[in-house]
Structure 1
Amino acid sequence: MAGRKQFDVDEALRRAMHVFWRWGYSEASIDRLTEGTGLGRSSLYGTFGDKSTLFRKSLQRYAQTYHPLYDQALSGPHPSPSAVVAAYLQVTLNRIADPTVPDGCLLTVSATQFPALDAEGQAMVRAMIDRLRAMLEQALLATGVDEQEAAELALCTLATNKSLAVLSRAGFSSEDLATVAAAAARIPGRPHE
């Protein structure tokens, strides 16, 4: 049948996501994308559009894959703010430990290359980070903390999450990453001075 795709579009998108995840937007050349997906340039462009469009589709695929895991972890009920932080960061540790995906986090590497992204890509990265922050705030509020503390803890947890992704890319051990996550989960339990 003329015009029928001779490849699995979903699998090609998953592979493209891994190229962006491993190399970041700036270093994910068309050659790397064609090699990573197994598609020729014409198939890549014909199916996904230009590099920026493929990046946004990859980022959307990433969020569809991983953000539900954070939703589930934060759905609670959680007995304390520390339990919220621990549940959230455990999702991060689990993803980092998965040998089938690149080190780190596509959203984190994308944030580090923010200036290289087009306006739509920048807006998408920021919206995804803001969504994760809002999810954390809501879960923390449900434990009974006030709005200011929930906002502060959500931001700190989000920063720890992104730090874990960076440290994993730098080769820190899973034990080191677990130590960082455990220390961050203890912070909310400390009394205010």
Structure 2
Amino acid sequence: MVGRKQFDVDEALRRAMHVFWRWGYSEASIDRLTEGTGLGRSSLYATFGDKSTLFRKSLQRYVQTYHPLYDQALSGPHSNPSAVVAAYLQVTLNRIADPTVPDGCLLTVSATQFPALDPESQTMVRAVIDGVRAMLEQALRAAGVDDQEAAELALCTLATNKSLAVLSRAGFSNEDLTTVAAAAARYPRVTTSTP
């Protein structure tokens, strides 16, 4: 039928997400995107718009796929801050160990290429990172940590998450990554607030 798309748009977006995830925005050329999605240039542009728009749609898909897993892990209840950190980082370890997706993290690789992104994409990347940080802070407060300690520990946990993604791309073993996550989960020695 004329004008009807002859491909699965959702699957093409998933594949585009993997191209950005593997190569980062700068190296995700249109040639790599067409090869990765199986679409011609005209179909790619007609369906998703320009590269920056496709990147933002890919990042949104990534968030929709993985953030519910973090949300579920952090929903608790957790008896202490170490349990919060361990639950959060376990989701990261599970994603990294998944052989069906690229190494690392799309959000992390996007943050490392921040200057290459257009302003709208920069705003989106930062908003997603800030959202994760807020999610961690909320879970830590629910585990009895005061506001200042929750803010500091959330930032450190977020940094550990990003470090795990970078180390995985550098070929560190799952055993090494698990060691990092376990050490980070042991670190919180904050005194929980009493009701």
Q: TM-score normalised to the size of structure 1?
A: 0.97
Deviations 1:5-33 (A, max 9, x none): 00000000000000000000000000000
Percent identical among aligned pairs is: 91
Alignment match, 1:156: 156
Instruction: Note the aligned Cα RMSD (angstroms).
Output: 0.3
Deviation at 1:145, TM superposition (A): 1.0
Deviations 1:116-149 (A, max 9, x none): 0001100000000000000000000011111010
Deviation at 1:79, TM superposition (A): 0.8
Deviation at 1:112, TM superposition (A): 0.1
**Within 1, Cα distance between the matches of 2:9 and 2:71?**
27
**Within 1, Cα distance between the matches of 2:143 and 2:151?**
13
Alignment match, 2:83: 83
Deviation at 1:2, TM superposition (A): 1.1
Deviation at 1:100, TM superposition (A): 0.2
Matched, 1:63 2:63: yes
**Within 1, Cα distance between the matches of 2:13 and 2:157?**
30
**Within 2, Cα distance between the matches of 1:91 and 1:128?**
17
**Within 1, Cα distance between the matches of 2:71 and 2:145?**
19
Alignment match, 2:143: 143
**Within 1, Cα distance between the matches of 2:177 and 2:134?**
24
**Within 2, Cα distance between the matches of 1:160 and 1:144?**
21
Runs ≥4 residues deviating over 6 A: none
Matches within 5 A, 1:23-102: 23-102=23-102
**Within 1, Cα distance between the matches of 2:105 and 2:134?**
19
Q: What SS does the corresponding residue of 2:187 show, helix, strand or coil? A: helix
Deviation at 1:150, TM superposition (A): 0.2
**Within 1, Cα distance between the matches of 2:177 and 2:121?**
29
